[in-house]
Chains A and B, each alone.
Chain A
């Protein structure tokens, strides 16, 4: 019997043949999935830097891979390397000679404070007044390419391309908190165009620093439930008060189903559809009528050749901010109607926090695992339901459920909305 390898539009069906993950819960698919399905939180007090004077003192940073002095680029790379090599190896390719393109969602990076402060301490400037003019004088006396590298947005993809043996010019992208989903979408599109038989798509974010935390804090986006870190992230709860910043990486090897079957690879799941829509309302808030979110969800389901009734489980964006969770539920209600009440929806962010640039990729990995294992990870800390959001959030305990399809949502600042639809491998 031959398997159909074309979708409803005659395009290549996209198989997922490799997965990799790092989060505050641990390194690797197995550790992450075990903890995720047992409802473990990875949120903890910040130890990377002094938190005195900060409104938020908790996070889901990844502290077990590199030391405190690692730059955002170093940590983002280390996690992407761990997830990327795991995924490429799982797919059965040499982890240093993948042989296909790389699509990387990576955090925008800038010079870090310790470099500015260290430069300011150097001698060689005629100007004593603190500021960039002084630093420029010092830079001319004491150039340091390593600092420059830590400010380069393409540094991580350059290192990864060499490490994984990918081909061509990698794309490094940022669509804010939808970045991980966008990276997958770019991989899907390249395979559908027939440019490549396989692609590795990675989202990584190791950018928790004093300044990044303060920036989100100044926008009132973060939870200040510092007393009990493990209980701070409570998506869809009435008492939710913001998201918890976190770090991690997710990686997927995508492949045309035809190619995967021909080489006898194990198929862990399918990417059936992608949808996106930009919002023109506000820099941080969604259009009040939810139309861009609704448009992205509909586009993803339609691209998969499905209808909302066909979706068995929703892996929510579910950040735990008052605004996101309300708008996400509103958007879903408009698309799913009455069926929403009986469609399970859970947010991994209740356990791993919001991994920002990496979130879409990590949640894609977890969605594929949910399909493969027949287990829905829970939304933990769901003790006080929000009466305005009536959802089956898979509260607090994982649930066994044979599912055939998953919708995974990702929304970000700057009007970014991306929705992916995954299917079970046959």
Chain B
């Protein structure tokens, strides 16, 4: 019934993480002799956090007023979106950028930790905590903080700062949001419902309020840091990482018309969910994997650090693509939930285009490349739910 189906190209990459900013910095790090993560182990102990590097926000968010209106996750996303647009060679021209669609995978809820502490402190001394909440929040909250909390205000800020206004949709829900953002955007372009789109997400890891949420479910890594696939049951868990990852996806016609450089073809992006029992999860995940020639393939595993999921994933990948090269990129970036799949696509498209040979961070559990990859699969097993797989191919002549 689908009348048209065309290729979907990756034509712009904006990536920021603990490793630095820009595609080149990342590929350099991932292809180094013995790649090591950048970790903050003290400030959030016993948790390991992959922190943001020093960023000159004004490079992509020139107005101080705009910077003041945003909290870190929004600045990070707006900055990475700016990098992607710039990398794609899209001029800062409203008439051009007003035709670009946007899908953002976002969490949200940045909090004012000092105000929250004040409420808790005052509530201890009263038997009417609701009154304390009213009084304290009513007088202490910055009115504009709300706008830094709303999930769709990352997209809103990208519209204001980067002038992307063709359409604006925000998907929520951890890894699932990232998978769905890629799926939906790819499908719209493939079917002719969109010509060019900005898609991605951001996650700010240096937030105790979020770490609290995750650790209430005992999801955080509290033991000594180890690469994601090396974390064994009982000493496993998530090391959160700050990441901003945005991509420009484009139809071949649109890309050709404006003479865009092409990183790779995003052939598919699919996801599923269901009951999390070992066999069911394994079966669902295996069914999402594209049936392709495993030669010249590089797998970018989005493993989160949860041992049980890593086992399921590794078994399924070994079965589907015996001997294929494989790295788990969360070891170097940390886990970034909504931004994790977009970051994997950014790395995969970059490596395919440049022919970069990546170095395993964890040789015991990863598989080194013997030659530059022509194909890449980016995988995700969400920390609580959702499984996904994206398939990219190098373009001819790259």
Contact = CB atoms under 8 A, between A and B. Distances in A.
Among A153, A161, A216, A277, chain B packs the most CB atoms within 10 A around the CB of: A153
A8 to B, nearest CB: 14
A147 interface: yes
Interface in B162-184: 163-174, 176-177, 179-180, 183-184
Interface residues of B, number: 87
Nearest to A109: B109
Among A108, A189, A192, A416, chain B packs the most CB atoms within 10 A around the CB of: A108
Contacts of A53: 131, 134-135, 138
B92 interface: no
Nearest to A53: B134
A193 B191 contact: yes
Contacts of B160: 280-283, 415
A176 interface: yes
Contacts, number: 248
A215 interface: yes
Interface in A155-189: 157-158, 161-162, 168-176, 182, 186, 189
Among B119, B144, B170, chain A packs the most CB atoms within 10 A around the CB of: B170
Interface string B86-129: 00000000100000001000111101010011111101100011
Nearest to B123: A117
A120 B166 CA distance: 46
Contact of A189 (B155, B176, B188, B275): B188
A218 interface: yes
A263 interface: no
Contacts of B171: 171-173
A153 B151 contact: yes
B146 A278 contact: no
A408 interface: no
A272 interface: no
A210 interface: yes
A283 B102 contact: no
Nearest to B387: A169
A277 B169 CA distance: 10
A111 B157 CA distance: 24
Contacts of A277: 165-167
Contacts of B384: 152
A116 interface: yes
A412 B155 CA distance: 12
Contacts of A10: 3
B385 interface: yes
Given A106-B172, A414-B152, A219 B159 contact: no
Given A175-B169, A210-B134, A215-B141, A136 B212 contact: yes
A111 B135 CA distance: 19
Contacts of A172: 171-173, 176-177
B168 A276 contact: yes
Contacts of A415: 156, 159-160, 165, 168
Given A110-B111, A218-B143, A278-B155, A136 B172 contact: no
Contacts of B173: 152-154, 157, 172
A414 B109 CA distance: 15
B1 A194 contact: yes
A172 B131 CA distance: 34
Contacts of A193: 2, 187-188, 191, 193
Among B163, B216, B222, chain A packs the most CB atoms within 10 A around the CB of: B216
Interface stretch (A87-95, A138-146, A323-331, A364-372): A138-146
Interface in B231-278: 271-273, 275
A120 B117 CA distance: 10
Among B3, B143, B159, B165, chain A packs the most CB atoms within 10 A around the CB of: B165
B339 to A, nearest CB: 14
A111 B165 contact: no
B236 to A, nearest CB: 15
B153 A413 contact: yes
Contacts of B123: 117, 120
Interface of A: 10, 12, 49-54, 106, 108-111, 113, 116-117, 120, 129-133, 135-136, 139-140, 143-145, 147-149, 151-154, 157-158, 161-162, 168-176, 182, 186, 189-190, 192-195, 210-211, 214-219, 276-284, 292, 412-416
9 contacts: A53-B135, A116-B119, A157-B173, A168-B271, A171-B180, A172-B171, A214-B137, A280-B94, A413-B147
Which 9 residue pairs across A and B have the least CB separation, nearest first?
A: A154-B173, A414-B156, A194-B1, A148-B217, A132-B208, A131-B117, A169-B271, A153-B172, A278-B168
